[in-house]
Structure 1
Amino acid sequence: MYAVKVTYATVLIEIKVSQSMSNSPFKNNQLYNEVVYKTLIESTLAIPWSIDWESKQFNYIGPQIEKLLGWQQASWKTVQDWVDRMHESDREKTFNFCVAQSLAGIDHEADYRALKADGSYIWIRDVVHVIRTENGEVDSLVGFMFDISERKKQEEQLEILQRQLEEFSYKDGLTGIANRRLFDEFFAREWQSAMRLQKPLSVLLIDLDYFKQYNDGHGHINGDQCLREIAQLWSTCCSRPRDLVSRFGGEEFAVVLPETNAEAAIQVAENLMQALKNAKLTHCTSTISEFVTCSMGVKTIVPTEQCDQMKFLELVDQNLYKAKQSGRNCYQADYVDTLEDLKE
């Protein structure tokens, strides 16, 4: 019975002569066993190889290499042939890693892109075993090459799916802009950055005026479409890469403006209100305008370690409330000039 088991982590080739062959003339025949061993190895998908450490020459490489990479078996003469047939982006790090592990006497695995004779690349995993002399010096390396292209393709597809899931987890399902989760993380990160660099940070909280009445009068489907249009409209108004426009919840939006002083934040608020005014989105149930309007709370701060970011948001929300109390369709803005209300 001949049993062959090949895995990525280890390679085990076990040859057993069954009891039925006990009377065979080939029993204990070393040449016969070597032929069987060679036949078994060269019939596997794994490609065996052996390298002499001192000369850096291939003692052997399996004939399967021709089918896999297209290079003739006889063309694999030295380690340099192996290195030259590797993607240039993988070459140095793979070579250095394998040399370091081999010198340390550590069996190891290395993934890299191998060059085929037709100019294309496939992913290879080399499983390497270090053979040492009695003195502990490296004598040779033996190992197997595996084609892991399909596995890499599956990993890449999984990474794409994971990125998409992450993107979806930060995106508002209705409007397509950033959601509350992304706002919270982005605001916390920019707060730390502003505190470290001592730069101004501005936040706008926006509420669409009488939007519940809009849904009652125009229907929720039209209400959803209105939210989508406003979200895209305001996203184009805040075009700096670090500006964030997000849906805060319901008909509320939030804008984070890093490194933006109070004057510039007010200009952004006015731009957003003007853009909404120009859109002329009909609001038949509003008591202040025939079109959709909004109220805003605007606040700017240069945070310190004594400031609490959530209390700052509460102050922005208070400004939004003041804007509503002032008749809506306006903004209330100021700069935090005292830390008393922001202390933790």
Structure 2
Amino acid sequence: MNFRHSLSSSPRLRHVVTLAAGAAAGGVLFATLAGANPATTDTTDVAFVTIPAKQVMGNNSIAAGKVESAVVIGGATTVPSNATTVQLLVTVKGTKAGTLKLYPAGNPAGTSGDTLSWAAGGTATATMAENIGMSNKVSVENLSLGTAVVTVKLTGYSTQVTAGDVNGSGGTAGQALVNNGSGGVVWGEPGRAFSSYHAALQPIPFNGAFMRTVTVPRGSYVLSFNGTVVGSSSTPDFAHCWLFTPNFVTIANGDAAVGSSVPRSTIALQGTVTLASGGDLHAYCWSQGNQPMSMANASLIAQSVGTVSGSVTNAQQSTNKGLPTR
């Protein structure tokens, strides 16, 4: 589940991944003084949008072993909030030889591998690419034994992530990174929906009946049921419906009233459930009174999600309750 900078260390979570095909537009260029080590960079083949150079760090003196960070998104930078990577023109000089390391703010281990070295008393300049970290910043660390004077200018940005920026650690075959509903992502089933629909009228007996059932594999689901209750008498009456787990633990329930003034009424139920071993999810209804009732357009949908938040019914930790009895 790791991007180039760790999901757990950076708030810039990429829920939609666009794979870049082909080489970067206007590839990364390097220029250093003779006697200095060249800049190193990763092989991030993303296409950059070129922008007028915007200085985000100007002749900043960074002491030996220290770190400074620059905001590279929003405001006067003209870089949009969905940018994942920025292109930077970096210049450094110092009385002692050394190396600069760039990385997403808050995540030193998530560096793309970009470094820039200079000779004692010299200056080095390079165009470098780096992913964006916490608080929309990129950090610059001085790895030399003396003070480094650093200037950084924004020259481009990208909203893409390459296949090399993503790996399958922690996931299994067929899984995808999905929104967990709490501002993060997890490995899970890729948003599959299981549904059952019946348009024609079906009776709602006094002793109850299953309106719809869907069979799902293990996982977490948002379960939704909708139907139109149709009365056949002038006597006020109502239908009561439940959403059940495979072992008949209630996920949600509600009523729909009908009568002479309201011959039809819509019922809509929704709840969340986590199943450790899969099974059948049910919509079950009964007629509260003795009058014949029916349901049309009954629809039961189980939408797969990575995890669910809020009130969750865990079928495997609940006692088998059985169907409701009068």
Short-chain TM bin: under 0.3
Q: Which protein has the larger Cα radius of gyration, Structure 1 or Structure 2?
A: 1
Higher percent of residues as strand: 2
TM-score, normalised with respect to structure 2 = 0.26
